[in-house]
Structure 1
Amino acid sequence: MVTPPTDRTATGLARAIRDGEYSPTEVVDDVLERIRERNERTNAFVTVTDKLAREMAEDAERAIDEGEPLGPLHGVPVAIKDLDDVEGVRTTSGSLLFEDRVAESDSPFVARLKTAGAIVVGKTNAPEFGLGVTTDNRVAGPTGTPFDPDRVSGGSSGGAGAALADRLVPLAPGSDAGGSVRVPASFCGVYGLKPTQGVIPNVSRPNAFASHTPFSTNGPLARTVEDAALSLDVMAGVHPRDPFSVPKQESYRDAVDRPIDELEIAFSPGMGIYPVDPAVREVLEDAVSAFERAGATVDRVDPDLGHDNEAILEAYYTMATVRWRSLLENLRAEGFDPFGEDRDRLRPYLVDLVLDVDEPSTREYKRADVVRTRVLDGLADLFAEYDLLATATCATTPFPHGDEPAAIDGTEIEPYRGWVLTQPFNLTGQPAASVPAGFADGLPVGMQLAGRRHADDDVIAASAAVERQRPWHDAYPA
């Protein structure tokens, strides 16, 4: 029995296409058919690029027929988050202001995916301008996790996570300014990696330096660690127009097969400061044994971040508010007035979070940098003794749309972001992944795995070890 293309990994598909088992047009037709049949369940896709995908597939098939050199993702379908540009395709950014905006060129990492042979089949849903760790907007509506579409898929790359878990595509990169790759990976039961700041270039304009407040970066999401590592190899590398871009490692894919018996891992479900739902904690306590079975050393250690979770979140909000307000200010150059006549076209969540709060003062901003520094130092102290830190990605499992949690395990939290444990690593720029850890009441739980700056290979190697010990490939909805 031949495995259908939609059940294959990106790595397996690329191999099957090179071996002649499938043609690129057969793969694309199969994927587009599945999107048509399944997308209504989760609302993962905002735009499906049927015509473009088929044209790219025909070009890919012609390259095979003519014996041209093939890239590592030749013929592999990929979905792009609707914050990033694909030439000739609309980029709404989840906003009514950009509902009809068509991109004039590719984002740099999209261009690299195309050069590697990947075929763009559509754009995945995101909250307005990526502001939020759930996915909803006034252009396309909410996206649900395939495990229960009435519950959130996470955000802001929620469409990407849902598309992967529902096997609509094998690759769907996202972006992460506060957990936007890792949260949907957790809520959709897939693998997501926020690499070290600068590994994947981010060419933002008009402000080339926007990605440092807080650190934000694109990152791979996939159903397997190998697929994520392969796509990172393609997307990574210095770009002259990104002041934070850094050289890539020789091969992230090679780290997948590396043993981890020499790694020392600190395990702290809530980092000593975050409340975690007992059901989530129980799953993590079981999942962390995979490291030990793979030969690594695991100690239960809480990092000293110098502040409680509320102070860290306040510092994050201070920085993020400056960035978000700057983003809205920049819209004036495009003829919009989000602070005036276009205010009613914005999602109320964005208005409440950005427009109706006092703009942070310079003093408040620099005080937030001091908190950020203490978090950096606390993690540096931990990583002086340990190679990796394993925590919960989210303190809870996916919850119903519009029902953000007000408390975790009896402790009151800030409902919009108080249940995510991802923000510290956006303050520091360190690599952090969400690895599928198991299920609580039938809903996926993610384990966050963070490492030293530029030790992305350690994070990938340990993630792959978990996958070998506790494979999750058969857990996705039928």
Structure 2
Amino acid sequence: MVSPPTRLTAAGLARAIRDGEHSPTEVVDAVLERIHERNDRTNAFVTVTDELAREVAAEAERAIDEGEPLGPLHGVPVAIKDLDDVEGVRTTSGSLLFEDRVAKSDSPFVARLKAAGAVVVGKTNTPEFGLGVTTDNRVAGPTGTPFDPDRVSGGSSGGAGAALADRLVPLAPGSDAGGSVRIPASFCGVYGLKPTQGVIPNVSRPNAFASHTPFSTNGPLARTVEDAALSLDVMAGTHPRDPFSVPKQGEYRDAVNRPIDGLKIAFSPGMGTYPVDPAVRETLEEAVSALERAGATVDEVDPKLGHSNKEILDAYYTMATVRWGSLLETLEDEGFDPLGEDRDRLRPSLVDLIMDAEEPTTREYKRADVVRTRVLDGLVDLFAEYDLLATATCATTPFPHGEEPEEIDGVEIEPYRGWVLTQPFNLTGQPAASVPAGFVDGLPVGMQIAGPRHADGDVLAASAALERRRPWHDAYPE
């Protein structure tokens, strides 16, 4: 029996299309129908490109009929985060300022997905300019996790995570400057990888060097590790206009079936400094034991990061505030007046974060670099003894919209980012993934698996081993 297209993975769809079990037009029609039937549940999509998707699917079908070479994603639907450009499609960036902006060209990784045969079916929701770890904006409103739409999907790739978990689309890459791939993966029960910095090129303009402080990169989000590796293979590789881009380290898909016998994994739910909800910790302990059964050696040991979670977050905020502040000049260069007549069109939280924020001094900025260096050294020291580090992705499960946690396990935290354990790896540029680890009261929990630079293959191999031992694919809401 042939499975319905919306039940198949990206790799499964690519095989079914090549084998003639499904046609590209059939697949795209099924995906578009499901998006229109279910998007109101979570508000995952901002824009649905029905006409364009059907045109591309018809062209993909013609290529099959005429025996042309097929790419690895031929006919496979993909959704693009509304921060990234798809030629001829609007990119709102979640802002009323760009509500009607239409992209003139594709972002580089989008062009690579298209060249591999993928069919763009729409744009997924994101907070304004991607500045948030939950997803809400004044263009499209909030996005919820499919496990409980009244609760947050995470951010800033929250629309991507929700679209995957609700089986609206099989692939939905995101971007990550502080956890924006991994947090939605955790809260939506899908797989998300922030690869080693530079693996997926980021051709940012007007500042080609903006992605270094803190490190930010695009990354795959998918329902399976194989799908993430497949799309990473397509998106990865050097680009002459990204000064940080690096060559691929082999075929990432090959790592999915690699045994993990002999891998040494350090397990530290809170990295020795972050409070973690006891129920989340218990779920992670159950999940990490599966890695031992798969052949890895697991020791509970904390990295020596040299700073408290608050000090690490403060350093991150210092760096990010400088980076976010450059948005002000970019908007002015594009003809907007963010400090004047356009101020009321921005979300109040964004105004507080950028427009009214006190700019760090040069001394504070350099002091943050020292914190960053100690975090790097602590992780490098750990990776000298262990191949990988397993932690919580988020210290809590998805919470109701607008009710950010102020306390975790009796410890007071900064409510907006104090519950995420993702930022250290944006300070270091090391690869880190969020893998579905289980559930607490029906809500998903993610395990973060990180490694040294260019150990993306090991991260994928361990993720796939956990997936085989504790599969999650039948747990998504119907």
Give the TM-score, by structure 2 length.
Answer: 1.00
Tell me how far 1:213 sits from its aligned partner: 1.2
| Secondary structure, aligned partner of 1:316 | helix
Q: Does residue 7 of structure 1 match 2:35? A: no
Find the aligned partners of 2:418 and 2:312 in 1 and give their Cα distance.
Answer: 10
| Secondary structure, aligned partner of 1:288 | helix
Letter in 2 for 1:259: P
Instruction: Check conservation: 2:328, 2:355, Cα contact below 8 A.
Output: no
| Secondary structure, aligned partner of 2:474 | helix
Q: What are the residue-to-residue correspondences of 1:209-248 with 2, within 5 Å? A: 209-248=209-248
Find the aligned partners of 1:308 and 1:263 in 2 and give their Cα distance.
Answer: 28
Q: String of CA shifts for 1:280-333, please: whole Å, max 9, x gaps.
A: 001001000111010000000000000000000000000000010102211111
- Structure 1 counterpart of 2:343: 343
Q: Does residue 41 of structure 1 match 2:41? A: yes
Q: String of CA shifts for 1:386-412, please: whole Å, max 9, x gaps.
A: 000000000000000000001101110
| Secondary structure, aligned partner of 1:47 | strand
Tell me how far 1:342 sits from its aligned partner: 1.2
Find the aligned partners of 2:207 and 2:361 in 1 and give their Cα distance.
Answer: 20
Letter in 2 for 1:375: V
- Structure 1 counterpart of 2:379: 379
- Structure 2 counterpart of 1:410: 410
- Structure 2 counterpart of 1:320: 320
Find the aligned partners of 1:458 and 1:49 in 2 and give their Cα distance.
Answer: 36
Q: What are the residue-to-residue correspondences of 1:308-457 with 2, within 5 Å? A: 308-457=308-457
| Secondary structure, aligned partner of 1:417 | coil
Q: String of CA shifts for 1:49-88, please: whole Å, max 9, x gaps.
A: 0011000000100000000000000000000000000000
Q: What are the residue-to-residue correspondences of 1:170-185 with 2, within 5 Å? A: 170-185=170-185
- Structure 2 counterpart of 1:125: 125
Tell me how far 1:19 sits from its aligned partner: 0.3
Instruction: Check conservation: 2:181, 2:219, Cα contact below 8 A.
Output: yes
Q: Does residue 465 of structure 1 match 2:449? A: no
Find the aligned partners of 1:120 and 1:183 in 2 and give their Cα distance.
Answer: 23
Letter in 2 for 1:289: S
Find the aligned partners of 1:2 and 1:120 in 2 and give their Cα distance.
Answer: 24
Letter in 1 for 2:216: S
Letter in 2 for 1:364: E
Letter in 1 for 2:113: L
- Structure 2 counterpart of 1:300: 300
Q: CA RMSD, aligned part only?
A: 0.5
Find the aligned partners of 2:252 and 2:294 in 1 and give their Cα distance.
Answer: 19
- Structure 2 counterpart of 1:84: 84
Deviates more, 1:352-361 or 1:87-96: 352-361
- Structure 2 counterpart of 1:74: 74
Tell me how far 1:339 sits from its aligned partner: 2.1
Q: String of CA shifts for 1:92-150, please: whole Å, max 9, x gaps.
A: 00000000000000000000000000000000000000000000000000000000000
Find the aligned partners of 1:175 and 1:191 in 2 and give their Cα distance.
Answer: 13
| Secondary structure, aligned partner of 1:473 | coil
Letter in 2 for 1:267: F
- Structure 1 counterpart of 2:205: 205
| Secondary structure, aligned partner of 1:384 | helix
Gaps of 5+ in 1: none
Query: Size of the alignment, in residue pairs?
Result: 478
Instruction: Check conservation: 2:71, 2:115, Cα contact below 8 A.
Output: yes
Tell me how far 1:3 sits from its aligned partner: 1.1
- Structure 2 counterpart of 1:136: 136
- Structure 2 counterpart of 1:103: 103
Find the aligned partners of 1:414 and 1:6 in 2 and give their Cα distance.
Answer: 39
Find the aligned partners of 2:124 and 2:268 in 1 and give their Cα distance.
Answer: 33
- Structure 2 counterpart of 1:276: 276
Deviates more, 1:195-204 or 1:330-339: 330-339
Q: String of CA shifts for 1:189-219, please: whole Å, max 9, x gaps.
A: 0000000000000000000000011000000
Give the TM-score, by structure 1 length.
Answer: 1.00
Q: String of CA shifts for 1:411-470, please: whole Å, max 9, x gaps.
A: 100000000000000000000000000000100000000001011000000000000000
Gaps of 5+ in 2: none
Tell me how far 1:340 sits from its aligned partner: 2.1
Find the aligned partners of 2:129 and 2:279 in 1 and give their Cα distance.
Answer: 32
